[in-house]
Amino acid sequence: MSRAPQLRAILGTALVAVIVVLVNYISARRFERFDLTHDQLFTLSERSKVLLKQLDKPVDLYVFLSSGEQSYAELKELIARYRSQSDKLTPYFVDPDREPARFKLLAEKYGLRAAAQENGQTEAELAALVVSGDKRWSITRDDLVDVDFDSLEGGKRGEGAKVNVKTEQALSGAIVQVTSGRATTVCVSEGHGEWSLTDSADRSLAATKEELKRENVELTAIETRNKGELGKGCDAIFVLGPQKAFADEETAALSRYLDAGGNLLLALDPVIDGEQVAITGLEALVQKHGITLHRDVLVELDREHLLSPSPVEAALVTSFGDHALVRSMAALRAPVVVQVARTLGVGDGATALLDATNKAYGELNLGRISAGDELKPSEGSTQPPIHLAALADSKPKTDQGDPLGGRLIVIGDSEWISPQALQQPQLANVDLLASFTGYLTEREAMIAIAPRKIDAQAMMITEDGLFGLFLRVVLLMPLAALVLGVGVWWQRRT
């Protein structure tokens, strides 16, 4: 009988060991990580997941940050998440200060430079280098993170600067850059007062070129006049903010390009002609694909969605359609800003992408806007739901595998690609640009990655607060442990 407790102890210990082994085996086979941070800092975007799953060639990543630098921990954690998605990515951590010989070999191989800092340490000019075959892409420290100190101005007490962690954005963009077989070419129409590729132009696409350059997308100008056929060498054609109407022959050429499987983006502002919106010459083309161009101007009456007192100037769009193209942006909860936009009608075969609020409407009588009258919906105005962007996708295949048509996106504004809008991290305009471009060039991995926004909250402690902290930590907590210990001792003694 005396052996029974010992047997139970042995069996209990063996059972616990078996449970531990099984738990470890299951966790190894079904590895799962949970992100409990407020800003979801440790969750990969869908774009990065798609990119890594499609990775079919080895990529080497050289990190030249020391362990004490600001972005080191974030980058190391991100690389671990990337590695969990694909074994094609191989990281190498090289500290130029602690491993000068190793860094020198890499510097000679890739043409890198290092500089001595004020503290005497050696620091590489780059934060990281991504290499695949004979292609390489550099990542600087500014590409990884920036701090918006302007957010401190006029902020509430206790609010700190906004820290924009762009590590995933930079790394995924670099991988796209070195693994794409060739640069994707987007042709931008000219000759109608559109946004220009010339840097010195009033409406320059310099910011757009810079953003798309990281995605291995090149912009080139295309003339649509006197062209029987369009689209040779173009993965997509963008028409961005024309101020003059397209001729019938130009519209016919664009329509043939689209019907033959080409991809087209039309960003069409409401061009004011007296007291009405001028025609674009593209009305019949978009109507053929289930989208109507209204000759009106958006009036947003929800003041929470305005950036200025005027209801027609700059409006924030927070309502996204149910389509993969914008679904990830809806999850980001960041608005898109449009300025002096027109509304669209969405019929059969088309899908709405961006909507204004239910308080918005489309004003046809522009005389009421210029007269400064109180704006409210009237008879004949465009009523909710108010659509601002829509797409029509005619890419189904025939039995022979030929496409029946291409992809068309129409948005009733072009100012959303202005440098001011693209460079604001709190807006999703740059995400919209990447998503539109990726969808139209059929590169699904270009679903946008927004910077992770962190509130760097400052902790302010007064002298009274410091004394209270000292009282609780240094005196009360040890005293509580002492009282608990005395109580346990007294209980055992009695």
Question: ∠ at Cα 262 (256, 263), nearest 5°?
Answer: 120
Rounded percentage of the chain residues whose pLDDT exceeds 90: 36
The pLDDT assigned to 74 comes to 81
Long-range contacts of 26-33 (CB under 8 A, 24+ apart): 31/84, 33/81, 33/84
How would you class 432 by CB atoms within 10 Å of its CB: exposed for 0-12, middle for 13-18, buried for 19 or more? buried
Q: Are 391 and 350 in contact (CB under 8 A)?
A: yes
Examine the pLDDT at 115 and tell me if it is beyond 70.
Answer: no
Range 366-382 average pLDDT: 79
The pLDDT assigned to 181 comes to 65
The pLDDT assigned to 442 comes to 79
Examine the pLDDT at 462 and tell me if it is beyond 70.
Answer: no
If one compares 47 and 389, the residue with the highest pLDDT of the two is 389
**Top-ranked range on mean pLDDT: pick from 23-37, 231-245, 456-470:** 231-245
Examine the pLDDT at 155 and tell me if it is beyond 50.
Answer: no
448: which DSSP letter? -
pLDDT tens-digit map of 476-488: 888 888 888 888 8
Question: ∠ at Cα 110 (104, 111), nearest 5°?
Answer: 75
Examine the pLDDT at 3 and tell me if it is beyond 60.
Answer: yes
Tokens 């992809």 sit on residue: 407
Dihedral angle sign, alpha carbons of residues 199, 201, 202, 205:
negative
Residue type, 115: A
If one compares 81 and 170, the residue with the highest pLDDT of the two is 81
If one compares 328 and 120, the residue with the highest pLDDT of the two is 328
Distances (CA, A) of 258 to 85, 204, 228, 409: 36, 26, 13, 11
Examine the pLDDT at 350 and tell me if it is beyond 90.
Answer: yes
Range 287-306 average pLDDT: 94
The pLDDT assigned to 362 comes to 94
Joined together, the tokens standing for residue 368 give 């009421």
Q: How far is CA 234 from the centre of its chain?
A: 24
Q: 255-264, 429-438, 478-487: which has the minimum mean pLDDT?
A: 478-487
CA-CA distance, 338 to 479, in Å (whole number)? 61
Examine the pLDDT at 441 and tell me if it is beyond 90.
Answer: no
Dihedral angle sign, alpha carbons of residues 10, 16, 20, 23:
positive
Q: What is the band of 370 on the pLDDT scale with cuts at 50, 70, 90?
A: confident
Q: What is the band of 494 on the pLDDT scale with cuts at 50, 70, 90?
A: confident
Range 49-72 average pLDDT: 86
Report strand pairing: 297-299 vs 361-363: antiparallel
Examine the pLDDT at 369 and tell me if it is beyond 50.
Answer: yes
Examine the pLDDT at 372 and tell me if it is beyond 70.
Answer: no
Residue among 438, 483, 456 nearest 216 (CA): 438
pLDDT tens-digit map of 4-36: 667 777 877 888 888 888 777 776 555 555 554
Q: 51-65, 122-136, 408-422: which has the minimum mean pLDDT?
A: 122-136
**Top-ranked range on mean pLDDT: pick from 99-103, 216-220, 298-302:** 298-302
Q: What is the mean pLDDT of the chain?
A: 82
491 Cβ neighbours under 8 A, 6+ residues apart: none
237: which DSSP letter? E
CA-CA distance, 172 to 97, in Å (whole number)? 27
CA-CA distance, 37 to 359, in Å (whole number)? 35
Residue among 358, 346, 339 nearest 429 (CA): 339
CA-CA distance, 176 to 191, in Å (whole number)? 32
Q: 26-35, 212-221, 272-281: which has the minimum mean pLDDT?
A: 26-35
Q: How far is CA 308 from the centre of its chain?
A: 25
Q: What is the band of 454 on the pLDDT scale with cuts at 50, 70, 90?
A: very low
Q: What is the band of 392 on the pLDDT scale with cuts at 50, 70, 90?
A: very high
If one compares 211 and 62, the residue with the highest pLDDT of the two is 62
Q: How far is CA 223 from the centre of its chain?
A: 31
What sections of 128-205 are H helices per DSSP? 141-144, 167-179
Q: Are 44 and 175 in contact (CB under 8 A)?
A: no
Range 461-466 average pLDDT: 61
Q: What is the DSSP string of 461-486?
A: --HHHHHHHHIIIIIIHHHHHHHHHH
Examine the pLDDT at 37 and tell me if it is beyond 60.
Answer: no
